[in-house]
Structure 1
């Protein structure tokens, strides 16, 4: 290890370890920020199938990719002063029928999308403005619609509508919102996955934040083909309408089933007891219970299990401890690089 600019610098033969993180939702920025603090070479691939909240309203008014998850990832990897990041994250408190509840950053992303003509170039421009340490790539250059089939045989479209059904989901897939074209990821997304030392899935909503990315056909193919260590960060709590009563092994099984094989190499699973007396389900009713470990079920899928105290619990909420998770990811990235080196000798 070497040190510089108050950050730990870990290198693999003169370069920082290449980590690709794929997902969306509130858990993703926690992991990205921790990896940034350890000077990993980060590429964040962010879901574009969200249709809720401010993102969904903007998507209805302006035909753009929903910006919410992209906004949060930009802030997590930005080297701007905190005051400027706070402005970007600010939500209007106005009673105005349009601006109420909107984040300034969402409006800026939507404006740049229109100016640049596509979301990929818009995010690259904004990344330069916000002094991003790493790369941020939308999973697709076009807005996508999430579709689901439930175990009872019925189907539904749209993230919000799917979760509102509160039914067990059998499978999901994505379609281009505005055309019959097959959703595709752009070449930089695929190159990042193929060149990575580690590809990280999660944390985040299994069916609505992680799988929508993998269901983009060429992106899913890249995850199947990469020589990187494919790591799944298992959620700490189950989620109503998506993973009710799921074990850790069932989370991995769903991803493997959608990919068509055993492609998750390692699962990071919380092993610490959660103090439920500090947890207030009334405030966060989408979270039901701690995800139960199932080591036998994971090993049956050729998945290595790393279990540790991965939680940061305070103020009645349960989060992943970003530093602990980042440490494990970097260790696995070094292992994967060394393994490839041996195979090439």
Structure 2
């Protein structure tokens, strides 16, 4: 059995997991960021003092043996009343935490067992930590929402407060054969995990194959005009180590879709470096015909990962 650990958060990671969960002879562990402060997750974090459940919920759903009515319910978001913007799965994770005497890990395990997921989902930490960012103009902001909303070039990021890594996450990393970073928001989904005390050190100790999956599109307010080299440079700077493989999209995106993204201050991540570590493929997957969204093709990604871990 090969032990694969994926590190990140948000929709990019869950899209990857939907493909990886079907690989045979693989033990899969997803380590998820806990600095999210937006939407339902942010409200639950602030009001009930538990780690933000949103990205954890998304990963659990992605790893479910069957995506059915239950998983659809867990992903349901209310649009009106006092529950407006709240997600049912987040509320269920909160309820399970309280039922289990405020034991958030046990809540995650309970929901995971109920859905019979193919793998494990673990938080990088259980501390209520926040990401802090400094922009090139010297301005410093606290919190993920503020970091993205300023729409300025980020100079550096760090964590505010204690950031001890969750022991099970450390163990999973040390026992891994392959560690995958991304896809996902560069600073707020991937690098925020590397800032947690013990994560980076465990990665170095593991001697695993390290794979970075680059985003297809830039993140508005976070990686404006970043090319592939910018992403890799930042990952390796905060990791303090070089990755072994870089997976990047070489597929074409229609102009009408690129123009729609351009209005949101987002553009294609261009491959601007020549490096033997780069694996290029057409990884584009489109969802939502009315307002097309670009995602990674999870099936193609899983085949590339299978080839790497099989070498």
TM range (shorter): over 0.9
Shift of 1:153: 1.8
Shift of 1:143: 2.1
Distance 1:93 1:289, change over 3 A: closer
Distance 1:313 1:80, change over 3 A: closer
Structure 1 residues 61-80: aligned runs within 5 Å? 61-80=47-66
CA deviation profile, 1:63-110 (whole Å, cap 9, x unmatched) = 11111111111111112560111111122233x23x112111100111
Indicate the residue corresponding to 1:26 in structure 2.
Answer: 11
Indicate the residue corresponding to 1:150 in structure 2.
Answer: 135
1:320 partnered with 2:300: no
The two structures have a TM-score, normalised by structure 1, of 0.84
Counterpart-to-counterpart distance in 2, 1:280 and 1:140: 39
Counterpart-to-counterpart distance in 2, 1:273 and 1:80: 32
Distance 1:72 1:81, change over 3 A: closer
| Unpaired runs of at least 5, structure 1 | 1-14, 177-181, 336-345
The two structures have a TM-score, normalised by structure 2, of 0.93
Greater relative contact order structure (CA < 8 Å, 6+ sep): 2
Q: For 1:107, which of 84, 91, 107 is the aligned residue?
A: 91
Shift of 1:318: 1.1
Distance 1:234 1:287, change over 3 A: farther
CA deviation profile, 1:16-52 (whole Å, cap 9, x unmatched) = x221111011111111010112233210001111000
Root-mean-square deviation (Å) = 1.8
Q: Is the 8 A contact 1:46 1:70 kept in 2?
A: yes
Determine which structure has more spread, i.e. the larger CA radius of gyration: 1
SS at match of 2:280: strand
Indicate the residue corresponding to 1:343 in structure 2.
Answer: none
Q: For 2:250, which of 244, 258, 271 is the aligned residue?
A: 271
Q: Is the 8 A contact 1:224 1:263 kept in 2?
A: no
Deviates more, 1:77-86 or 1:51-60: 77-86
Counterpart-to-counterpart distance in 1, 2:268 and 2:120: 33
Q: For 2:282, which of 303, 309, 320 is the aligned residue?
A: 309
Structure 1 residues 134-283: aligned runs within 5 Å? 134-176=119-161, 182-260=162-240, 262-279=241-258, 281=260
Structure 1 residues 114-129: aligned runs within 5 Å? 114-116=98-100, 117-129=102-114
